Chains A and B, each alone.
Chain A
Amino acid sequence: MATDLSPARPSEGLQPATGRVAARRLSLTSPVRQSASALLLLFLWHGLSRFVFEPSILPSPATVLGRAVDLTLSGDLPRHMATSLSRILVGYGIGAILGIAVGSVIGRFRRVEELLTPSLGFVRSIPPIAFVPFSIILFGIGEASKYAVVVYLVFIVLTLHAAAGVRETPRIRIRAAQALGASGTVVLLKVVLPSAVPFILNGLRVGLSLSFMAVVSAELIGARSGLGYLIMDSQTMFETDKMLVGILCLGILGALMDRGASQLINRLLGRFAVQTG
């Protein structure tokens, strides 16, 4: 993802599911067996923390759970979570709007796009965390520097995706609309933008998971709140249980957001596939 410069066609991720023997083999796994193995995993963790490692290196699952309850009751964990979430959502919203707008314009003008895409792609291949110190120098250690990193990243991703979507509008559709007497604005609003929607939706999904990562890295390096800060803070104090609470919370939050966004996007994608197909 980090070095993938060209936005993929949304259909590339989909694979036909018919006639595959191996696929059927894999989907046969029962939920019972999987929960059994999840339990086994927990026992293994417990055993390792009990008999092999010191609790300061690997605290037991019960300790971590207890710490999570404590942190929730004291309000620390919800506060850090809310901070991280608001950073993600604000930065993501601003970046997405800017990116879609700029990308749509760029995609319309072929030569502008050809001039700008290489540098955008270059910038995109720089790991976002590298901009965190720079952002802190520019915007200080407060919220602005975190927003800036997320906005920047989401902006680049969506510009590239929106431009690709607009560029890939099937020419025959534009010509058909023109032949039927549609004006330039009508073509843009009714033909070009709807055709770009699947690309933009795909970009929105990629951007969400990247903005999650960007916020965490910004909080690890320079912040006084947020889940990333919680993790980094526990490292300096050697509170491994608190650190694991933070890490697992990030995992749960990330998985929930990713799943929610994917479902929403798939629903929208389905609708647009019907409409534009």
Chain B
Amino acid sequence: MDLLDAARWHRWLRPVGAVLLPLASWELASRAVLNTALIPPPTVVALAASQMLQSGELFIHIGISLRRIFVGFALGSAIGIAVGMLSAWSRLVQDLVRPLLAVCSAVPPIALIPLAMAWFGIDETARLFLITYLAAVLMVPSTVSGVRNVAAIRIRAARSLGARPSQIYLRVVLPDAFPFILTGLRVTLGFCFMVVVAAEMIGANSGVGYLIMQSRYYAMTTKMFVGILLLGLMGVGFDALFRRLVAAGLPRFAVEKRTG
């Protein structure tokens, strides 16, 4: 009996409950207790979302935000990984990079948005610079710690078998460091996402962040909620996508599955 109950719980009661229960209590709270103009109920938000989907407004904002994230992320992490590899390889590079990196990683990236706007104006370059910078700064330490984590015995084994330094780097160090780099990429993507939204809120005229900010001026909380929830979906989606990609393409390096 207990077994059956547990099976039913896991198969559909839990997932359905986890979605319906919070939504239902939100709906109820918004209609019965709170002000629907301030906190619109989920049904109203869903309606607004479907209208914005039909008019295509939502797709434009999503597309623009996504492009900003991915271009900057790709460019920045490529730079970051390269610099990280170099600085793990040569002490000179490392000594040069370290103080700069210490300053950069201490400053919250969101605080740099006004600076980027002062440098590049309100156009696309400012956002691209910001995301590229952020991804690069975040990827250097995770690449370095990946290379650090390479087991000495494997390097020694390769060396005693007569491998050249370049071979050791490509066949031993890089594969060993790869899981760290992947974890770093995942964290970096999350940060890029956050900073793109912030940059769009502070100085842009398109993108999901702009959508939220624009709704504020007209106090259209419904539209604002569409934007906020959309960000949640995008965040969860990115993470799932990343895990899926890792699991599909690189089973050897798959992110460890966590229980619960």
Binding site for B on A (CB under 8 A): 1-6, 15, 19-23, 25-26, 28-29, 33-34, 36-38, 40-41, 57, 111, 114-119, 121-123, 125-134, 136-138, 164, 167, 212-213, 216-217, 220-221, 227-228, 231-232, 234-235, 238, 240, 243-244, 246-248, 250-252, 254-255, 258
Contact = CB atoms under 8 A, between A and B. Distances in A.
B232 interface: yes
A250 B111 contact: yes
B94 A5 contact: no
Given A37-B96, A131-B228, A220-B113, 9 more contacts: A3-B186, A5-B239, A19-B152, A29-B98, A37-B98, A118-B18, A126-B235, A130-B231, A243-B118
B90 to A, nearest CB: 10
B99 A251 contact: no
Q: Which 9 A-B pairs have the closest CB atoms?
A: A125-B235, A3-B190, A133-B216, A235-B114, A2-B190, A21-B152, A251-B107, A251-B106, A38-B99
Given A20-B150, A26-B88, A37-B95, A123 B212 contact: no
B151 A19 contact: yes
Of B95, B112, B190, most buried by chain A (CB within 10 Å of CB) is: B95
Contacts of B18: 114-119
B32 interface: no
A126 B148 contact: no
Contact of A231 (B91, B102, B114): B114
10 contacts: A4-B187, A4-B239, A22-B148, A28-B91, A40-B96, A121-B236, A126-B235, A134-B221, A231-B115, A232-B202
Contacts of B213: 133, 221
A165 to B, nearest CB: 12
A123 B232 contact: yes
A116 B258 CA distance: 18
B197 interface: yes
A216 B239 CA distance: 25
A228 B114 CA distance: 10
Given A122-B236, A137-B221, A246-B111, A2 B193 contact: yes
B110 interface: yes
Contacts of B198: 127, 129, 217, 220
B159 to A, nearest CB: 10
Contact of A133 (B21, B106, B224): B224
Contact of A29 (B17, B95, B225): B95
Contacts of B8: none
B110 A213 contact: yes
Contacts of B106: 251-252, 254-255, 258
Interface of B: 9, 14, 17-19, 21-22, 38, 88, 91, 94-96, 98-100, 102-103, 106-108, 110-115, 117-119, 144-145, 147-153, 155-156, 173, 186-187, 189-191, 193-194, 197-198, 201-202, 209, 212-213, 215-216, 219, 221, 224-225, 227-229, 231-232, 235-236, 238-239, 258, 260
Nearest to B9: A111
B50 to A, nearest CB: 20
Contact of A118 (B19, B38, B94, B153): B19
B91 A251 contact: no
B239 A125 contact: yes
A127 B231 contact: yes
Given A131-B228, A247-B115, A19 B215 contact: no
